[in-house]
Chains A and B, each alone.
Chain A
Amino acid sequence: MEAEVEETLKRIQSQKGVQGIIVVNAEGIPIKTTLDNSTTVQYAAQIHQLVLKARSTVRDMDPQNDLTFLRLRCKKNEIMVAPDKEYFLIVIQNPTD
Chain B
Amino acid sequence: MEIVYVYTKKRSEFGRQCNFSDRPAELHVDILPDPSQMDNYIERNPCDTPTQCAQEMSEHEVNTERFQTETRGINHVEGGWPKDINPQEMEQTIRYRKKVEKDENYINTVLQLGSLMEHCIKQNTAIDIYQQYFEEEEASEVAEEQPSAKTINVFRDPNEIKRTATGLSWHPDGAKKLAVAYSSLEFQRATKDMSFDSYIWDIENPDKPEMTLKPVSLLVCLEYNPKDSHVLIGGCYNGQIAYWDTRKGSQPVEMSTVEHSHRDPVYKVIWLQSKTGTDYFSASTDGHVLWWDIRKMSEPTERLILDPSRKGNLDNALGAISLEFETTMPTKFMVGTEQGQVVSCNRKAKTPAEKIVCTYSGHHGPIYALQRNPFFPKNFLTVADWTARIWSEEIKESSIMWTKYHMTYLTDGCWSPVRPAVFFTTRMDGTLDVWDLLFKQNDPTLSLKVCDESLYSLRVQDNGRFLACGSQLGTTTLLEISPGLCTLQRNEKALATAMFERETKREKILEARHREMRLKERSRSEQSKEEEAKDVDTEESSEDLVARAEKEFFEVVEFELKKREREEEKSQSKADSEKEVSEEKEAQDLS
Contacts and interface: CB of A to CB of B under 8 A. Distances in A.
Interface of A: 1-2, 4-5, 8-9, 11-12, 15-18, 23, 25, 27-29, 31-32, 41-42, 45-46, 68-69, 71, 73, 78, 80, 82, 84, 86-89, 91, 93, 95-96
B9 interface: no
A1 B117 CA distance: 19
A15 B118 contact: yes
Contacts of A9: 110, 114
Contact of A31 (B77, B97, B104): B97
Nearest to B75: A42
B78 interface: yes
A5 B118 CA distance: 13
Given A45-B76, A69-B116, A12 B110 contact: no
Contact of A96 (B77, B102, B128): B128
Given A15-B122, A71-B120, A80-B117, A1 B107 contact: yes
Interface string B101-143: 1101111011111111110111011001011000000000000
A29 B109 contact: no
B117 A28 contact: no
A29 B81 contact: yes
8 contacts: A2-B102, A4-B111, A9-B114, A11-B118, A27-B80, A27-B81, A88-B113, A95-B128
Nearest to A46: B76
Contacts, number: 92
Contacts of B130: 73
Contact of A89 (B101, B107, B113): B113
B50 interface: no
A18 B174 CA distance: 35
Given A41-B78, A42-B76, A80 B121 contact: yes
Given A5-B101, A29-B80, A15 B125 contact: yes
B73 to A, nearest CB: 12
Given A5-B106, A69-B120, 15 more contacts: A5-B107, A8-B115, A9-B110, A12-B114, A15-B122, A27-B80, A27-B82, A31-B97, A31-B106, A42-B76, A45-B76, A84-B109, A93-B124, A95-B124, A95-B125
Contacts of B104: 1
Contacts of B15: none
Q: Which of A4, A5, A68, A88 has the most CB of B within 10 A?
A: A5
Given A86-B109, A95-B128, A8 B114 contact: yes
B33 interface: no
Interface of B: 76-82, 96-97, 100-102, 104-107, 109-118, 120-122, 124-125, 128, 130-131
Nearest to A91: B117
Nearest to A78: B124
Contacts of B121: 12, 15, 18, 80, 91, 93
Contacts of B111: 4-5, 8
9 smallest beta-carbon distances between A and B, as pairs: A8-B114, A95-B124, A27-B80, A82-B113, A28-B80, A89-B113, A45-B76, A16-B125, A29-B80
B96 to A, nearest CB: 8
B92 to A, nearest CB: 12
Nearest to B97: A31
Contacts of A87: 106, 109-110, 113
A28 to B, nearest CB: 4
A10 B77 CA distance: 28
Contacts of B80: 27-29
Contacts of A95: 124-125, 128
Nearest to B96: A29
A82 B117 contact: yes
A91 to B, nearest CB: 6
Contacts of A25: 100
A55 B218 CA distance: 62
B123 to A, nearest CB: 9
Contacts of B82: 27
A60 B113 CA distance: 24
Contact of B124 (A5, A17, A69): A17
B46 to A, nearest CB: 67
